[in-house]
Amino acid sequence: MTMTKAKIGIVGTGFIATILAPQIQSSKKARLDAVSSRTLAKAESFVANYPGAIAVEGADQLIARDDVDAVYIATPTSAKEDVASRALTAGKHVLIEKPLHSAASFKRLSALARQKASC
């Protein structure tokens, strides 16, 4: 039986992304498909170490990709809810790597995820 790998995109190229990317790349169940940064040059520099991964400028371009199933959000805390909301609205699975700004933020994202899952 052949298993399809989950196609993961990472928003952000900071420290945690540098730890996570090689783990995704070596996974038997997932592959790193795309990485976005605020500048294309930074995303290109990041993916240079990950054959097959595509560099894109900005979270919206990564979220819009049909070849990305799930989005790992490795942005500063202040941007996480906004990026996660856009990814959930686009029908992507979302993984967030550190705490959200507030409990209210968590509740809003949880409600949006439940809403999208029931569609």
CATH number of the domain where residue 71 is located? 3.40.50.720
Per-residue confidence of the chain (119 residues) as pLDDT tens digits?
667 899 999 999 999 999 999 999 999 999 999 999 999 999 999 999 999 999 999 999 999 999 999 999 999 899 999 999 999 999 999 999 778 889 999 999 999 999 988 86
Residues recognised as catalytic: 98
What's the total number of domains in the chain?
A: 1
Q: Is 50 within a domain? A: yes
pTM for the model: 0.93
Domain that holds residue 41: 6-117
Q: Is 1 within a domain? A: no
Q: Is 105 within a domain? A: yes
Cα separations in angstroms, 66 against 23, 30, 71, 92, 93: 22, 16, 12, 10, 13
Q: Is 55 within a domain? A: yes
Pair 117, 93: CB distance under 8 Å? no
